[in-house]
Amino acid sequence: MEVKEFLEKAVNDGASDIFIVAGGPVSEKLDGRIRPLTEGRVLPDSTKSLIEEIYRLAQRDMARFLDSGDDDFSFAIAGLARFRVNTYRQRGSLAAVIRVVSFDIPDYRALGIPESIMALAEETHGLLIVSGTAGSGKSTTQACLIDRINRTREAHIITLEDPIEFLYRDQRSIISQREVTVDTADYLSALRASLRQAPDVILLGEMRDPETIHTAMTAAETGHLVIATLHTKGAVNTIDRIVDAFPGGQQSQVRTQLSMVLRAVASQQLLPGVDGGLEPAFELMTMNSAIRSMIRDCKTYQIDNELRTAGDGGMFAMDQSILKLFRAGRISRETALDYADNPDQMRRRVDAQ
């Protein structure tokens, strides 16, 4: 089979990813499970040919990949879908993982994103963080928030992505999409430049280093809405990761600034469902005076209790979302315990039914 046939099959199957790695079959990931697309193993010469074909489809030069051993880019096939590609070397051979991205922004209701998270699109300034482990759907949630803003208010939205995944059509807003290494050198320089481009909303694909985090917080502080992602699980870990990115002498100042500019942290993960699919679980922390004080006074360990008991601003903890999925019969008892932040407390609650 040619690469295009693999792509077409993955789209038709509803798969999320395609794996091309020498030594095993070309495979797709569907509902969290990996299924082979070829009967036999593919050899290094075959993976090389397939990856060269990917670069031809993307009309992209392979020189950077061959020099560095890694590359990250996206491309589209008309009438089919967009694809986000990461190519890399492994054991001396060429390999690739291809993420399937729909042309259309998904319906947040079909994805199970709570309305309380979608309501964050009404914020006009400050920092919103969407956090979660790799593959948990952070980019999709970001896309749904940008789509909500695009449909509901007039704004200039600048997205900084590596690479671009979803494509937006201007509706009430004007949307400028910039791809790192294609349209700009890196996140930091693009973020600094965006402040001179009359933005109302800045989508930042990832906060990777202290300089980018600092610039994002400054942008949020000066009247822009910044929507960023972090590879962290839960609101507490997200805040601690931001603070710990800075040297010890700067952390007190960072905590103070973060407590003022942060508007919310939405965290998410995907759990195996009883029907073989994946079920999303969410955590939402919005800011109140108590949480601002906890961040400023280095007492983030108290935030989890505030999420469980506050009851205001639509806040809820991850374990509350997991318990709700269990009580609805969408995940098993074992899954609820495996993914819970507090397994002992979760065991008591699921066994109390």
Per the DSSP assignment, residues forming a β-bridge with 99 are 17, 84
Strand residue runs (E) in 287-339 = none
Contact 118, 108 (CB under 8 A): yes
Q: Which residues of the chain have pLDDT under 70?
A: 311-313, 353
Report pLDDT for 102.
81
Mean pLDDT of the chain, nearest integer: 94
Strand residue runs (E) in the chain = 17-20, 27-30, 33-36, 70-77, 81-90, 93-101, 126-132, 156-161, 174-179, 201-204, 225-230, 262-272, 278-286
Report pLDDT for 283.
97
Of 221, 201, 217, 197, residue with least CA distance to 123:
201
Half-sphere exposure of 213 (CA within 13 A, CB side): 23
d(CA 304, CA 316): 9
Look up the pTM and report it.
0.86
Question: Whose structure tokens read 């937006």?
Answer: 168
d(CA 105, CA 107): 7
Q: Which domains does the chain have, with CATH numbers?
A: 3-101 (3.30.450.90), 108-316 (3.40.50.300)
Of 188, 296, 303, 304, residue with least CA distance to 251:
296
Report pLDDT for 313.
60
d(CA 30, CA 24): 17
Half-sphere exposure of 38 (CA within 13 A, CB side): 22
